[in-house]
Structure 1
Amino acid sequence: MNIVKGVADLIRRSSSGHTGESPGSQGERLSPPTPRIRFSEVDDEAVLSSLWERYENTADKEEKKRLFHVFLKQFLIVFKNWEPVNYGQLPEAAPTAIQPGENSTGGNDIVGCFAGHPSEIILTLTEEIMQLTTLVSELNTSAGRTTTDLPAATISFIITSEGLPVLYALKIIARSLHNCRVFGYYDGIQKLTALMKGAVIQLKTMTGSLSVDENISNFLTEKIGFLQRLLVYVVSIMCSLIDLDSYIYEKAQMYNITEGSYEIGASSSINSSNSLKGSLSETRLHWHQKAIVSVMEAGGLNWLVELMRVMRRLSMKEQWTDMPLQCLTLRTLCVALSNNSRGQNHFKSIGGLEVLLDGLALPPINMLLLKSDSNADGPRYFVKLFRVFTCVLIFY
């Protein structure tokens, strides 16, 4: 128990220091990347604008929380199938300094969510990641109470009912280049990586407590499955941030929140670095490179590799592993390492090649349990694994 609490404290300290405030808030304040986007005053966006205004004007903490989730539910309904218009064509502008009391709303505002969403929405969703990371750090392998004085089962319910919709919204947000810039401006990549780190550490702790011949409790089995479900969202968002075209080519193994199931879309082939450059505008390519650097500096490659390692251990201990999560992790590694010599060297130094070789040598437990020809995910998994392995090995 003390070890688990120590891990939780470590995660909390690593994610602290990101207050969600704009860079430069201690001195001159910087505005988010321009242009500023506002909800329109017609149709569904007018409803969202009204809900958001009610949320912002409420002082009571509990009522504010309730209104946020009312807004979030409507946001997911309105923008579930949203795609940005003039994708990636908004001009990139550096954040500009504004003086205290100066109105940051300029005359070049975009009315309507055609190319992105209001920055205050993205900021609030980014701050919610920090709350979600704290909750994840409180999960442990016992059935007792956590340091928040809430049962672990209650924490899992809170994360499912409140946290997963936030991540689903961020998956929608990440379809737009403008939104990605704003998300990065608010240290969103660092906070998302901290959440992935916390979930992987918890999954690793639970996996380490298992033995092959042990009859584990349903409670522990559910938490292992729950953490993998959470990581599907997190890794999917990270993949979208790096690869702006990922949502076009596949509906990336996303869980359906309302029905409690998930849909797996057809996988796309990973483009070579040359075709990637050819399909991206200079602005989008600049973001692609910037996102990769941000993920690396936040430790994202380390935790993607560790996640692969933990999933292999689950398979070896005859526990179910989430195939969509494995495929998403491999895809994210591939787009992050393509044409990235610095990332490839780092990947090699942290044992990434060995993890891939382990994956090639041992089929996942899913394949052993489901020997039916209908198990289409198995071949897809190994195709992706070979692609990543080839993508990395070619540079050595």
Structure 2
Amino acid sequence: MNIVKGVADLIRRTSSGQTGDSPGAQGERLSPPTPRICFSEGNDEAVLSSLWERYENTVDKAEKKRSFHVFLKQFLTVFKNWEPDNGGQLPEAASIAEYSMRVNDIVVGCSAGHPAEIILTLIEEIGQLTTLVSELNTGVGRTGMDFPAVSISFTSEGLPVLDALKIVTRSLYNCRVFGYYGGIQKLTALMKGAVIQLKTVVGAIPADESFSNLIVEKIAFLQRVLVYVVSIICCFIDLNSNVYEKAQMYSITENFSVIGALSSIDPDSLKDSLSERTLHWHRKAVVSVMEAGGLNWLVELLRVIRRLSMKEQWTDMTLQFLTLRTLSFALCDNPRGQNHFKSIGGLEVLLDGLTLPSINMLLLKSATHVDERREQYRLLKIFELHVLSLEVLREAVYPIYHSYLVSCMLFCFN
């Protein structure tokens, strides 16, 4: 532990002189998305338009709630495999008429995005989910009869909302709407509530005491919620429509390698692979996440996962992958984010997590998992997570290495 802290302190002291935006600096505000998008009058979108109109015209609160979930179920069916045209980037106003029907700055059809009022309603639903998670009873001395009700309610009503947001954040237009109406702040609040609850559960149990079945269920439930939330934040930053699916593949596939396919991020190649417009969005999105406190809670989530691992309990590898992946994108070519990450103890969390699980933990996994063949690859996947942690560490200290290189070059020329 002292060695870990010493290395982190050394890196921080070395980088203390680097320049960058001040932590309190306000990023460029997101502009209101234009033009508006509405459903077309044909095929599945016509059905959605009718269901949405019924929802808006319903007055009774209970019936309105049912109408929304009927619409949401149909929305998930229609757009399950939806991919936006041109990454969800609408053309400039001059060429929109050639792209789609345009009347009074309204684009008909969901080729590039979805109606803003739907995204706004999904944002409001996030607030309800945050309240539900924050009020969850996590006391280890209680019977926890409230937990099954919360779990059932969240699974039936909350997860469809998050599934819809995973679809929505595939589009640049949708992300602009989501960001403009405060969606990232709401999502960060949900992440904060779930992390606090997970931290409370884990911290209340002594290291040498086994978890009850109820506590195990709560931990699994909270990690499941966080998998959804972190994947949406990652897509908001990266506009990567299949990051969640890739993470799931990593979690369950035996011969899938994160090292070659997913973990390496080079700032120059990132710039080359993105259009100027998308890269501009990436930078604004990262600032939005930082100002909402997202970077802080991603680091805190890693810290809680580390504590859970120290107690030799199950941790969701998909959640670890998504968290590290999101941090890597947030820190890439971002001096302000790198400085802030170091100031909140991110280096210590990363370095402290570069350990292998105990032999007791590995034996426990082999005994409890049905598919023993997957356990043969567990150490490999843990190793790959460590590699991804080192990738995040590289992004966090990248300017240091650059300054060392410049100094060495100057020394050689002199």
Q: What is the TM-score when the length of structure 2 is the normalising length?
A: 0.78
Counterparts in 2 of 1:239-388, with a 5 A limit? Answer: 239-244=234-239, 246-248=240-242, 251-253=245-247, 267=258, 268-363=262-357, 369-370=364-365, 372-375=375-378, 377-388=381-392
Q: How far 1:141 moved relative to its partner?
A: 1.7
Moved over 4 A (4+): 143-146, 262-267, 364-371
* Residues 1:362 and 1:108: Cα distance change in structure 2 (over 3 Å): same
In terms of fraction of residues, the more helix-rich structure is: 2
CA offset digits 1:198-229 (Å, max 9, x no partner): 10001001110012221322111101110000
CA–CA separation in structure 1 for the residues paired with 2:308 and 2:41: 51
* Residues 1:308 and 1:59: Cα distance change in structure 2 (over 3 Å): same
**Residue 160 (structure 1) aligned to one of 155, 164, 184:** 155
SS of 1:360's partner is coil
* Residues 1:381 and 1:127: Cα distance change in structure 2 (over 3 Å): same
SS of 2:234's partner is helix
SS of 1:86's partner is helix
CA–CA separation in structure 1 for the residues paired with 2:143 and 2:131: 15
Counterparts in 2 of 1:162-241, with a 5 A limit? Answer: 162-241=157-236
Farther off after superposition, 379-388 or 173-182 = 379-388
CA–CA separation in structure 1 for the residues paired with 2:153 and 2:243: 32
Larger radius of gyration: 2
CA offset digits 1:114-168 (Å, max 9, x no partner): 000000110000000000000011012237599xxx8232112111111111011
Q: Is the 8 A contact 1:34 1:92 kept in 2?
A: no
Q: How far 1:369 moved relative to its partner?
A: 4.3
CA offset digits 1:301-326 (Å, max 9, x no partner): 11000000000000001111000000
State the AA in 2 paired with 1:283. R
Q: What is the TM-score when the length of structure 1 is the normalising length?
A: 0.81
Pair 1:89 & 2:93 matched = no
Q: How far 1:273 moved relative to its partner?
A: 1.2
Farther off after superposition, 196-205 or 384-393 = 384-393
* Residues 1:368 and 1:334: Cα distance change in structure 2 (over 3 Å): farther
* Residues 1:136 and 1:252: Cα distance change in structure 2 (over 3 Å): farther
CA–CA separation in structure 2 for the residues paired with 1:254 and 1:107: 42
Percent sequence identity over aligned pairs: 65
Q: Is the 8 A contact 1:88 1:283 kept in 2?
A: no
* Residues 1:131 and 1:254: Cα distance change in structure 2 (over 3 Å): farther
SS of 1:198's partner is helix
Q: How far 1:254 moved relative to its partner?
A: 5.5
Question: Highest relative contact order (Cα 8 Å, sep 6+), 1 or 2?
Answer: 2
CA–CA separation in structure 1 for the residues paired with 2:86 and 2:355: 45
What is the count of residue pairs matched by the alignment? 346
CA–CA separation in structure 1 for the residues paired with 2:386 and 2:73: 37
Aligned equivalent of 2:10: none
Aligned equivalent of 2:118: 121
CA offset digits 1:332-352 (Å, max 9, x no partner): 000000110111111001110
Q: How far 1:91 moved relative to its partner?
A: 4.4
* Residues 1:368 and 1:312: Cα distance change in structure 2 (over 3 Å): farther
Q: Is the 8 A contact 1:330 1:388 kept in 2?
A: yes
* Residues 1:122 and 1:266: Cα distance change in structure 2 (over 3 Å): farther
Aligned equivalent of 1:44: 44
**Where in structure 2 are there 5+ consecutive unaligned residues?**
1-29, 94-101, 367-374, 401-414
Q: Is the 8 A contact 1:236 1:328 kept in 2?
A: yes
* Residues 1:88 and 1:121: Cα distance change in structure 2 (over 3 Å): closer
CA–CA separation in structure 2 for the residues paired with 1:369 and 1:342: 42
CA RMSD of the aligned region, Å?
2.6
* Residues 1:291 and 1:177: Cα distance change in structure 2 (over 3 Å): same
Pair 1:395 & 2:392 matched = no
Q: Is the 8 A contact 1:252 1:328 kept in 2?
A: no
